[in-house]
Homo-oligomer: A and B are copies of this chain.
Amino acid sequence: MGILFDILLPDQNEQPLYQQLYIQIREQIRNGSIADGVRLPSVRSLQLQLNISKTPIETAYQMLTAEGYAVSRPRSGLYVANPHKPISAGFLDSESSKSPIKINPKPQEPTSVQHADFIDFDPTALDHASFSIRTWSKMLKEALENHSGMIGKYGNPLGEHGLRVMIADYLRNSRGVICSPEQIVIGVGMAYSIGILTKLLRDTRRIAFEEPGYSLVRDQFMLNDCEILPIPLTDKGISLTDLEASTAQMVYVTPSHQFPTGCTMPYPERERLLEWAIAKKAYIIEDDYDGEFRYVGKPIPSLQSLDSYGRVIYIGTFSKALTPALRMNYMVLPSQLIERLSNMTHELVYAPSRVEQWAMQSFIEQGHWYRHIRKVRNLYRKRHHHLIALIQEHLGNNVEITGQNAGLHIQLTVKKRQTSEQLVASAAEAGVKVYDFRKMWMEMNQYPVKYPKLYLGFAGLSPADMEIGIRLLRKAWFME
């Protein structure tokens, strides 16, 4: 039997149990109450001591292990090993630490200088270790072997039929999307999908866009000679009153998890949005870019699932839940648009690599995709909670967190009389990359002036790196 912990889990604490456990054990390791080299109590004994379930203990232990506060010895148990204190204290106190040394002893990608030198709260990065190299290699190998006779030919420009069947199944099961495989267009990313739409809908030039909204998509409309009508946001998504008063012919929305504010459009607003589209014969582009990730409350079905008039164009991606390295996405077109697309005399569509489409088909067919989603949803839920806990702990009342129920990023309002550019710059000086919310606004005169806003992704950062990052931010922003 190991030590008995001095741990309190008050009922009123709103932090999840694993988080409370993790923080208390970590602090005791740090301040020396639990000495280096000591064996931690087994999950079972701590469970008996605290009268809670196994899961939060296992999670807290995994986090401690991941961060190097404990090491597992085979057939023996978990031992305290605190490599952090001297190193992190050292470089956190150093005035000239522009390139903080990562605590992680083995950098996983030695060729990527940026990754090694910066703590990057990149909102597009994912956890690379969750992606099973072995499984994906196997899928690729099988794809090549099973389809070797087709390797000499171009595929269906809309995408391989087998994969479209799998995606239609998945979308119906998980996002409530109602469609046949024939309505699905496999693509190579958002820029590609928007390119198709703007060419397919030649007379649709005035696009209503969330303000603030996803600037990369807005840029694609502008590149394709569309006019953007910025429509303000409410806390329930795009302002329907403003949309209804506009001359928009189409609208782009992110109803599951607005980018970048993180709000979700409630059911009555969705109905009202659909009514607008039906009345105006307008199309709604629903970008469900991270619909897989919802951490609080029930999953909300897609807007498309409410549409029986064929007004919603649904777009989803494998870049958030699986990997951005494949550049594979999909678009569900209402049948009348698929028909129009098939009648185009000019070749408008081309699908990504057939080999990877066949691999993706098997990946879904064999259940790997569903397992992967469950795995990363749990992982990112933990990272999400962990980041929020770290911010609360280290940045406290100096900041406000919003949009934290879903997705792979949070929004941070920094209560400081500085511009967001200044904050991004001082963070970069300290070796941390954070992202400027301001760029998501099209018209700067609508940008709220009181406090600067930033956004931070968390999916690609280990808890240890997150903590270094947040501590460095505190130092950079609040300790001059």
Contact = CB atoms under 8 A, between A and B. Distances in A.
Interface of A: 107-109, 112, 115, 122, 124-128, 131, 133, 136-137, 140-141, 144-145, 147-155, 188-189, 191-192, 195, 199, 216, 219-220, 222-223, 225, 319, 323-328, 345-348, 350-356, 459-460
A204 to B, nearest CB: 15
A153 B125 contact: yes
A359 to B, nearest CB: 9
A79 to B, nearest CB: 28
B131 A152 contact: yes
How many chain copies? 2
B223 A346 contact: yes
A193 to B, nearest CB: 12
A153 B122 contact: yes
A109 B141 contact: no
A53 B328 CA distance: 52
B148 A124 contact: no
Contacts of A319: 154
25 contacts: A109-B148, A109-B150, A124-B154, A126-B152, A128-B149, A128-B151, A128-B153, A131-B148, A136-B144, A137-B141, A140-B141, A152-B323, A152-B325, A152-B459, A155-B325, A188-B188, A188-B352, A191-B347, A191-B350, A192-B350, A223-B348, A225-B225, A326-B353, A327-B353, A353-B356
A204 B148 CA distance: 42
Nearest to A126: B152
Nearest to A221: B346
Nearest to A150: B109
Nearest to A124: B154
